Copies of this chain bind each other. A is one copy, B any other.
Amino acid sequence: MPLIASRIASANSATSDFPLNNLPFGVISTAGSPPRCAVAIGDFALDLAALEADGRLDAGAPVFAADRLNPFMALGPAAWARVREQLTTLLAEGAETPIDDALVPLDAVTHHLPFAVSEYTDFYASKMHASNVGTMFRGPENALPPNWLHIPIGYNGRASSVVVSGTDIHRPLGQRKPPDAAAPTFGPSLRMDIELELGAVVGVASPWGAPITVEEADAMIFGYVLLNDWSSRDIQAWEYVPLGPFQGKAFGTTISPWVVTRAALEPFRAPLPPREVPELPYLHQAAPGLYDIHLEVAMEPPGADRETIISRTNYREMYYSSAQQLAHHAVGGCGMRVGDLLGSGTISGPTRGEHGSLLEISWGGKEPFALDTGETRSFIEDGDRLTLRGHCEGEGYRIGFGEATGRILPAVANRWA
């Protein structure tokens, strides 16, 4: 599919994240006006509440003068398609319906969390990441857990800690115990990390008690965001046996402000890798389950004048798709809700420059890496900014995700010191 030309000139640039082919949804505000729903187009946000107010846009019910996309998502796939079609017409080259009143320059908007996160689940679906972390945490002989090739391993995360790009996060306090210490101590995490992930946003609910197929699961996904599952490796290492990550993952998860729709990603479907063991039928996905999304991680130390790209990888590296994960999530009868967020799991390619966590890039902190400023890092230091970016490369255009960025600030005061 080629670029769809838009009346917004900046949307026609081959390097814009937001051409007319994309139309990602988010929630914005401007000085003196409340949050409302918008799409990104070129260098602008298009205020959907303004268009809806006088009938230039009609989702079937009034949903856009809201501080979250949930009401719009809850209208379902027919409404999503209808709105996408109306917006494509409104924003096409040559279209004449006035829209200037609804255009806000992107650099003048404040982004808000695009949807109320009902529940947040995180998975572990990159074979390279699982092998790397397994080797470091449990030794090479136990690198890949015996269940890994059979189950899209996941755990429930904390929805209240999901924040929008641009939100800075304090280094968490917690318990950590170096392997050679006799007892744990309490204080700021010393091994702060990122996890480069894609987040799937559930837009259609499934009832409690009703398993779904992978195809049904795929159709329930409204879209995708970039997701940084900030992780404290020292807190995690001490707490996670036997019931999994808890406080090591509870202090913050950053998502990009724009939800890129499944519709926009459709031309970039990519196949799942061949199964290495017989696949249980409930997990079989006939369609290509992944997407060809170029991803990168940038790191910028405090006071620096430039960032360093510390990883480049691709969502094609995954072993399980979001649809498979969602089907697995519901197969025992767990009801899924509009606004559920599913983290793909850290996305790592095979080489050091393609890893989605500092734990892997610095190999457990043993091999510090250099930044372009001349500094070195093993884990995140106070003031460091980490930014995820991603895009699909089309014919003369890209489907961009914008970015998911945040800085790690010093820990808050230790009230028990």
Contacts and interface: CB of A to CB of B under 8 A. Distances in A.
Interface string A144-180: 0101001101111111110100000110111101000
Given A156-B158, A241-B145, A416 B282 contact: yes
A154 to B, nearest CB: 5
Contact of A151 (B134, B175, B336, B415): B175
Given A183-B277, A186-B281, A332-B173, A239 B153 contact: yes
A147 B238 contact: yes
A157 B235 CA distance: 20
Majority secondary structure of chain A interface residues (helix, strand, loop or mixed): loop
A208 B332 CA distance: 32
Given A186-B280, A333-B170, A147 B247 contact: no
A311 to B, nearest CB: 22
A273 interface: no
A333 B138 contact: no
A394 interface: no
A151 B239 contact: yes
A155 B154 CA distance: 12
Interface string A229-257: 00010010011111111110011100000
Interface of A: 118-119, 124, 134, 137-138, 145, 147, 150-151, 153-161, 163, 169-170, 172-175, 177, 183-186, 208-211, 213, 232, 235, 238-247, 250-252, 277-278, 280-282, 328-329, 331-337, 412, 415-416
